[in-house]
């Protein structure tokens, strides 16, 4: 950002990183108690996600699913992770897919079948991705310069990404 006076640059206020990105992250850490990990650490080699095309932090999502849904078996945990990680078939447009995922996460519309009583009868059980009643039961993470590879193979680096239980 610069200020002009008759075509000349008269002062420089700073850049996006120092004016917006770093202060926002500092606020999230100091005031809202988010954890911070730089984007270069949230890579497949560190076990945080399957590939750079993935935006979900699978390990963190799995831990949250186990914590919030202790009744879930391994098969349903894996099914639920795949459901969020591969949503292409949930709609015909990005908007439709996002609306479906929003409803599943916020309105608790996602269920799995499981025999939770051990009596052989499977019943639909609601999956909780976020604990809406106890905020402290969730993991809040902020990162910066989080690399994501597009379908064209080009990398993009969003300035700030916030994750709740591994979900951006």
Q: What is the DSSP letter of 166?
A: T
List CB contacts of 20: < 8 A, sequence separation 6 or more. 159
pTM of the model: 0.84
Residue 140 neighbours by CB distance under 10 Å: 16
Token duo for residue 83: 């459901």
pLDDT, tens digit (0-9, with 9 covering 90-100), for 93-119: 889 999 999 999 999 999 999 988 888
pLDDT, tens digit (0-9, with 9 covering 90-100), for 4-61: 444 454 445 568 788 889 999 999 999 999 999 999 999 999 989 989 999 999 999 9
CA distance 12 to 15: 9
Token duo for residue 51: 């590939």
Count Cα neighbours of 65 within 13 Å in the Cβ-side half-sphere: 28
Percentage of the chain beyond pLDDT 70 is 92
């Amino acid at each position: 950002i610069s200020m002009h006076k008759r075509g000349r640059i008269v002062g420089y206020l700073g850049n996006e990183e120092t004016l917006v990105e770093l202060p926002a992250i500092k606020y999230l850490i100091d005031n809202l108690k988010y954890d911070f990990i730089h984007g270069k650490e949230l890579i497949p080699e560190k076990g945080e996600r399957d590939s750079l095309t993935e935006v979900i932090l699978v390990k963190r999502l799995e831990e949250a699913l186990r914590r919030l849904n202790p009744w879930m078996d391994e098969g349903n945990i894996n099914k639920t992770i795949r459901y969020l990680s591969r949503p292409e078939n949930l709609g015909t447009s990005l908007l439709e897919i996002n609306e479906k995922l929003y409803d599943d996460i916020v309105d608790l519309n996602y269920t799995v079948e499981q025999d939770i009583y051990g009596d052989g009868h499977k019943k639909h059980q609601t999956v909780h991705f976020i604990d809406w009643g106890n905020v402290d039961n969730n993991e809040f993470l902020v990162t910066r310069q989080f690399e994501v590879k597009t379908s064209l193979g080009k990398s993009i680096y969003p300035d700030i990404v916030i994750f709740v239980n591994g979900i951006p």
